[in-house]
Structure 1
Amino acid sequence: MTPGARVAAAITVLDQVLAGMPAEQALLRWSRGSRFAGSGDRARLRDLVFGALRQRDSLAALGGSLDGRGLMIGHARRHDMDIAALFSGEGHSPAPLTQAERDHVAPATLPDDLPDWIRPRWHASLGDQAGQVAALMADRAPVWLRVNPQRVHPDSAVDLLQSEDIPTRRADDLPTALQVTGNERAVARSALYRDGGIELQDLSPQLACAALPLRADDRVLDYCAGGGGKTLALAAREPKARYEAHDALPARMGDLPERAERAGVPVRILRKPEGSYDLVVADVPCSGTGTWRRTPDAKWRLTQDQLVRLTEVQAQILDQVAPMVRPGGHLAYMTCSLLDDENDDQVHGFLSRHPGFALVQDRSWTPIDAGDGFYLAVMARRS
């Protein structure tokens, strides 16, 4: 595909997303209807679409309209591209710019690419960092790997990945975390990935898992396990503990047994947890504001009513798991949110309802100091 044809395809997909279709679904629909497109074309199209959604409002201001065409004109202007060549009307390229599009003058100050209703919460939660974090959310997220030390030493992992032309760098404060600095799409084809030596996992949840209290004889429950990434991270750190995973939608854990076997750690899948645990991890459903670089269309779909319902679900989950923590044990509350509504406020509400728990530590990560936005609170149940 020519650059102009990819821009035309992006316009089509973006119009569908702006009309309410999830981005992944719109990209899949285009791919199924465009068998001529190779893997490279699909990857470049995905980058165009996701990049435009991360910077939706500022690109619309540059392009003159909040639609697929306006976003792609804004994209071309932001990156000083040859607009006449991209919008030539030749072949499969979009039609040439109209006189109004050529004459459009962008405002002196561009929008910050945040939904209007969330901006006050964003600034209240992030304080002086609000603007910097919003700007970082407009860029593509880095790719991080978690090395499984039960399979390979981190130093060897770096060398093995380099031998497959996948360069990495070690995280400063976590030896088992590697950032992929090139050829990211080759990771899933690498021998180290197939053999369970590495897993794709953002740096922030890796740091959160590394901060949890964990001993060899602990019984651990991952209550909202999803794909089981945190279960596997903890098991790689302390393989002698006993790990159990549960999710309200068991289908989300469908790949976990295979991943656990590949990683060389036993994990028991539960439909209904019973008994008491030394550590309960509750990575609850949340707004995902910390992951907007990865799912940028979610930023524009989130509503105030949805946020309120999510906070209600979070409180219910915390109340459900509290009795599962044995006296002297710990409850780890996690979100991939940057908002106080889901983080500090939620923890303070739980502690007021459950005076038998005490806050041991809480920590937030943002794209400034880690990867995705992430929150951790560890609470101990008094003996």
Structure 2
Amino acid sequence: MTFEVVGRGYASDMSLKPFLPSERQPASSQRIASVAKAVHAMATIGERSAAAASLRDDAFAAEIVKTATLPASTTTASTFAAKAVADLLDMLGPASAFRPIMGSGVMMLGYDRYASVLAPTYSRSATNVKFVGEGAPHPVGKLSIKGPTLTKQKLMLSCALTRELATGSNGLVYINTALQENLDAGLDEILLDATEGDTTRPSGLRFGVNALTASDNADPHSAMVADLAALGGAVCDVGGANLVFVAAVPQWLAIQLWCPQLRVPVFPSGGLSAGQVLCLAPRALAVVGGNEPIKLDVSDQATVHLEDTSPQPLTTAATATYPTMSTFQQDTLLVRLRCAMSWALRVDSGAVAWTQNVGW
């Protein structure tokens, strides 16, 4: 959800102080809890230094409060060059397919100082690998770097909470749930949809890919095997043995029960409708993120347009944006996460296959 925000909040542009190796880092499963603690402290206390002082038992949450950014994590820093994407992965829950897909061999890139980066075309060729005789010339391929250009795009999550809800005895649970469940659902839905990309967002993986016809075999188990084989067969020329399936939750459960020995990873996702299953060659997917940390803002002095589908800029024209809300007037807190990231497939076709209306 994205809101147009105007007003003074608690955001900070202070430079990030890196953690010392001796300082305790939270496990991935605890990272979202630390973010929730930081938001809860800022909501309850407000002033950053005092809020940070109240978090002596969680150095990670205290650092978030001080700098309004997510500190580096040793669990992901060595794996992903893009800091923003690493932060996102640590905040996602078990209901998201985005995280395991990112860990399945996708190309990770960082924007660094640039507004866009080139994702080189994925190609597999044995042409330049030859045995040669003594003194004979060896083959040299022509270097050709081409592929999709990934421009810097901004991913945002905002949610409004009443002060009573955020600061009550269950405030941490509410904040944790609001952040994690919205991230899980939002990222999966965008990644797996069939929407064409534009200057605002990247294309969904199913864009431009026609659905394969599901098996009409009356036996559900046989239909499942036929559908999975067809999907894998449509992608294996690009992915080889490095394939993953993503399935709507009912189909994921059926695969777990009927094909427990399946060696190809299968991830559940709410980003697919019931009856839909997708196969992806992860190495053909490039993901780029900002090298700066995710920014975290909490404000009780903002005016927002309460719209999660097509938010509009606030205006003083005769036709006003509606509905609007003053967080100051209604004693409400607005929590916002933002980071730079995008993705693209490095091949024109053959990296994704999907089907729908399966009979199992």
* TM over 0.5, shorter chain: no
Which structure's residues are more often helix, by fraction? 1
Structure number with higher relative contact order (C-alpha < 8 Å, ≥ 6 residues apart): 2
TM bucket, shorter chain = under 0.3
